[in-house]
Amino acid sequence: MDNNDSFYAKVYDVVRLVPSGRVTTYGAIARYLGSGRSARLVGWAMNNAHTCDQPVPAHRVINRNGLLTGKHHFETPDRMQRLLEQEGIVVEDDQVQDFDRLLWDPSIELEL
DNA sequence: ACTTTGACTATAA
DNA sequence: GTTATAGCCAAAG
């Protein structure tokens, strides 16, 4: 794919901006990109994230419920939870604890 | 050019 | 509280 003119590139860029120990949602990213309702595209972009040149911390991108829906798409299903736990995030039963506290919304955090 | 998909979200029941 | 359905947009087949 091309450099940064695709929808994916935006997603990758925002995901890379997610601080360690924080998580974000597909909807939050989509909303920051202006699409708002194209949260699915974010997820699909993540699917191609591994094809991107630069590494993308896709493990910090989860669904609105704080559930690790895409963990099964990683190299190994437990890779995602492993990375999150490394960053100090408590994950139990594929669900992020204190998700509301750890949520990093670009449209809010980058707004300041 | 058309159809299918897809790691979602919001609303309705 | 949960489960079911519809909407959504962009890319791959």
Tokens representing A47?
């699917």
Helix (H, G, I), strand (E, B), or coil: what is residue A14? helix
User: What is chain A's mean pLDDT, rounded?
Assistant: 89
Helices A7-17 and A26-33, axial angle in degrees (round to 10): 120
> Where do the domains of chain A lie?
7-109
CA A94 to C1' C1, in angstroms, rounded, equals 20
CATH topology (fold) of A7-109: Arc Repressor Mutant, subunit A (1.10.10)
The 10s digit of each residue's pLDDT in A16-63 is 999 999 999 999 999 998 777 888 999 999 988 888 888 999 999 999
Q: Is A23 helix (H, G, I), strand (E, B) or coil?
A: strand
List the alpha helices (DSSP H) in A3-105.
7-17, 26-33, 39-47, 77-86, 99-102
φ, ψ of residue A71 in degrees (nearest 5) = -60, -25
CB proximity A1–strand C (7 Å threshold): yes
A89 CB below 7 A from strand B atoms: no
